[in-house]
Amino acid sequence: MTQDALKKAVAQSAVEHTLERIDADSIVGIGTGSTANFFIDLLAAHRGKFAGTVASSEASAQRLKEHGIPVYDLNAVNEVVVYVDGADETNPRLELIKGGGAALTREKIVAAVAKEFICIADDSKWVDHLGTFPLPVEVIPMARSHVGREIVKLGGDPVYRQGVVTDNGNVIIDIHHLHPIGSARALEEKLNNIVGVVTNGLFALRPADVLLLGTPDGVKTLRAEG
């Protein structure tokens, strides 16, 4: 099976999970990236069954609108029933690295609001310990050098993602050589405490609730281990 076939399979499974949780008034949170794009395209067939969506990026909002699916400002909705998004890495605790597509801040906000966070990923994203994938950090532009120096003090190797500006007008620093991350929660907090950091791509303080993992043997439904 190709990686795209695995992504499509988990997206289809996420549509089925979503349909079990929504009614005509529901708002669905929508992630960003190629796996989330499969989810958007498959969800479009059911667009009359829920009130609308909130999106974690301008790109996803655009794709939703092209399907005729309403997109709301998060401030205009009372509740997000479920948030469906991909990941760059997941461990057995369903702690994630996200932000390969630079959408980490809005992703983290929608995940924080959602009652349930369903992560969809092919099995290339499954790891015992996070940190092989460079950890994205969204940074206020004037703080880029300062944040880089602080990351070095934490033992990371910061690399400025050239030419990328986030939907919030900020820049991305990717932290290399963190593997294996011991306590993802502790590192998430330390990075958040650096002045000039907007968000980092560790989703450990708010991990996924459910992981739909695409494997050649089918889609596995996993919940966080201890």
Q: State the catalytic residues.
A: 107
Tell me the C-alpha to C-alpha distance, in Å, between residue 23 and each of 18, 38, 47, 48, 56. 10, 22, 11, 10, 21
Residue 214 in contact with ligand 5RP, rule: CB under 6 A: no
Shortest Å, Cβ 24 to ligand 5RP: 28
Taking the complex as a whole, how short is the minimal distance between the CB of residue 92 and ligand 5RP, in angstroms?
A: 18
Q: Where are the alpha helices (DSSP H) in 22-143?
A: 34-43, 58-66, 104-113
Among positions 12, 18, 35, 166, the unique one binding ligand 5RP when judged by CB under 6 A: 35
* Contacting residue, 29, 31, 156, 158, with ligand 5RP by CB under 6 A: 31
Token duo for residue 161: 């993602």
Site string for ligand 5RP, 98-127 (x = CB under 6 A): xxxxxxx--x--------------------
Q: Which stretch binds ligand 5RP (CB under 6 A): 32-40, 62-70, 139-147, 174-182?
A: 32-40
Cβ proximity to ligand 5RP, 146 vs 179, nearer residue: 179
Query: How far is residue 67's CA from residue 15's CA, in Å, rounded to a whole number?
Result: 15
- Tell me the C-alpha distance between 120 and 126, whole Å: 11
Q: Is 191 in the site for ligand 5RP (CB under 6 A)?
A: no
Please list, in sequence order, all residues whose beta carbon lies within 8 angstroms of the beta carbon of residue 104, skipping any fewer than 6 positions away: 98, 136, 138, 199, 200, 201
- The encoded tokens of residue 121 equal 């990923």
* Cβ nearer to ligand 5RP, comparing 3 with 192: 3
Q: How far is CA 117 from the centre of its chain?
A: 10
- By rule CB under 6 A, what string of x and - marks binding of each residue 81-100 to ligand 5RP? ----xxxx---------xxx
**Structural tokens at position 164:** 């990328």
Q: Which residues bind ligand 5RP (CB under 6 A)?
A: 31-35, 85-88, 98-104, 107
